[in-house]
Structure 1
Amino acid sequence: MASQGLQLLGFLLALLGLAATIAATFMVEWKKQSQGKTHRIYEGLWMSCSGYERTTCEFHESLFKVSVETQATRAVLLFSVILSAVAVLVSTVGMKCTRFMDGKAESKSTTAMIGGILFMVSGLLTLIITSWYVKMIVQTYKQSHRLQSFEFGKAVFVSWAGSLLTLVGGAFLSCRRCSRSSSSGSVTSSHLLTTANPKSNYV
């Protein structure tokens, strides 16, 4: 666990990453297709939209009608969001600026580190599944007729940004060198003081 300022920075970055991941999960423009100059088709993880100037959206009625990459991305992103939510609670308990676990510096440091690791795992899952989703779209785009295939949309970039912010924020929260050095120094100094006092009685 690093200094309080670094912890706060990591926590805020992780929160921004979580917000971006939630936004990307429910965005419609994961896939996009243009038919002509005005007609657009968008496909998200939960619904698809199509139209000209005004688009109409419909929820996916059945899982069996949704592609494999969409189902997998939906499941992993939901798990990532839940994991980040747990990391928020754990990190809040272990951060220096909170009053939880006062008097237990080592336990508080370990708790913050666990929260940072959870954030990092969440960001890594989001990064992997988003990259795999893009890879599947690119493969389909190359194998099929390009005018009839989908391209990846803005939600992919939002998801990538969310994963990177969550990873960096979790890394800041997981840093413990500063805390360990300061705490170990205080422990050794207090230990020397306590051992010096009994010897002074014999002088």
Structure 2
Amino acid sequence: MSHNLGSATSALTMSNMATEIAAFILTTSGWVLVSSTIPTDYWKVSSIDGTVITTATFWSNLWKTCVTDSTGVSNCKDFPSMLALDAYIQVCRGLMISAVCMGFFGAIFALVGMKCTKIGGTDQTKARIAGFAGMTYIISGISSLAACSLYAHRITSEFFDPMFVAQKYELGVALFIGWAGSVLSILGGGVFCLSLSNSFSQSSSHTGRGGYGYNGAVSSRTAAHSHPANHRRPPVDYSTASRHFDKNAYV
């Protein structure tokens, strides 16, 4: 029975390790995608819908605005002042930088808390660290998701506004990369949080089973050795005993 319990425990441990490795791959991929969107040029690209002259393409990101002519030459201009920027660009900058920083610390916590590493302490301590890493990744994914969605909302609102007469833009490739990275970070962080709950439920169930089996084995053995019915008694000769009875014994 102990051999079967050990085999089940090792199988569950290997399953949790595989789950954590898959979650780490998801979160790391998401963090790399989110980080790559910050220097990416095309957050928004000028729309050719309703435009007669298409010799120039306007595009911009969180740091600069550029124009590319028909020969492929680009002229860029950085935003002159951070305080003079639109509020949504400042918010997107802060959210994206926060997402990258949280993803970096989440990767460190994940490496410490994963069962396949040799650091972090006991299994329960490593499980708590892995759960904290999962929450960090979820916050990182939500931050980048909010930044990309806010930027996309501004583009779409200007595009469908009939009173907006300036240059209209469409969604750039950086927004789709950011959304994909955000989803991967949130999914991987959720898997880390689920591994935390599975580790605690597994440890509690093993404690209960082990205590019950040990106490049951001790009690059964103790009862087997201490019960007087299990000791052999010499057979009683009822014929000899009946000779000592006389007629007064039945009165």
Report the TM-score when normalising by structure 1: 0.88
- Are the equivalent residues in 1 in contact too, given 2:20–2:114 (CA < 8 A)? yes
- What is the CA-CA distance between 1:195 and the residue it aligns to? 4.1
Aligned residues: 201
- Alpha-carbon distance in structure 1 between the residues aligned to 2:80 and 2:198: 53
Tell me whether 1:32 sits opposite 2:52 in the alignment.
no
1:23-172 equivalence runs, <5 A:
23-33=36-46, 36-52=53-69, 53-102=72-121, 104-143=122-161, 144-145=164-165, 148-172=167-191
**Structure 1: gaps of 5 or more residues:** none
Partners of 2:76 and 2:29 in 1: how far apart?
A: 28
Query: In the alignment, which residue of structure 2 is the partner of 1:10?
Result: 23
Bigger RCO of structures 1 and 2 (CA < 8 A, at least 6 apart) = 1
TM-superposed CA distance for 1:142, in Å, is: 2.4
Q: Which residue of 2 aligns with 1:187?
A: 207
Separation (CA, whole Å) in 2 of partners of 1:160 and 1:101 = 32
TM-score, normalised by the number of residues in structure 2? 0.72
Q: Which of the pair has more CA radius of gyration? A: 2
Q: Give the Cα separation in 2 of the matches to 1:182 and 1:64.
A: 53
Q: Is residue 175 from structure 1 mapped to residue 188 from structure 2 by the alignment?
A: no
TM-fit CA distance, 1:60: 2.0
In the alignment, the residues of structure 2 paired with residue 59 and residue 184 of structure 1 have an alpha-carbon distance, to the nearest angstrom, of: 58
SS in 1 for 2:144: helix
Q: Deviations over 1:131-151 (max 9, x none)?
A: 122111211222312x72222
Query: 1: CA distance between counterparts of 2:120 and 2:208?
Result: 22
* Structure 2: unaligned runs, 5 residues or longer: 1-12, 227-251
With over 3 angstroms needed to count, the CA separation of the structure-2 counterparts of 1:65 and 1:50, relative to structure 1, is: farther
3-state SS of the aligned residue for 2:46? strand
Contact 2:95–2:146 at 8 Å: present in 1 too? no
Equivalent residue of 1:187, what SS?
helix
1:96 alignment partner, SS class: coil
For residue 194 of structure 1, report the CA deviation from its aligned partner. Answer: 5.4
Q: What is the RMSD of the two structures over their aligned residues, measured on CA atoms?
A: 2.3
The 1:21–1:106 alpha-carbon spacing in structure 2 relative to 1, beyond 3 Å, is same
What is the CA distance between 1:49 and its match in structure 2?
1.8
Give the aligned residue type for 1:136.
R
Q: Percent identity of the aligned residues?
A: 23
Residue 43 of structure 1 aligns to which amino acid in structure 2?
S
Q: CA deviation at 1:179?
A: 2.4
| Structure 1: distance between partners of 2:169 and 2:217 | 77
Q: Aligned equivalents of 2:214 and 2:125: distance in 1?
A: 23
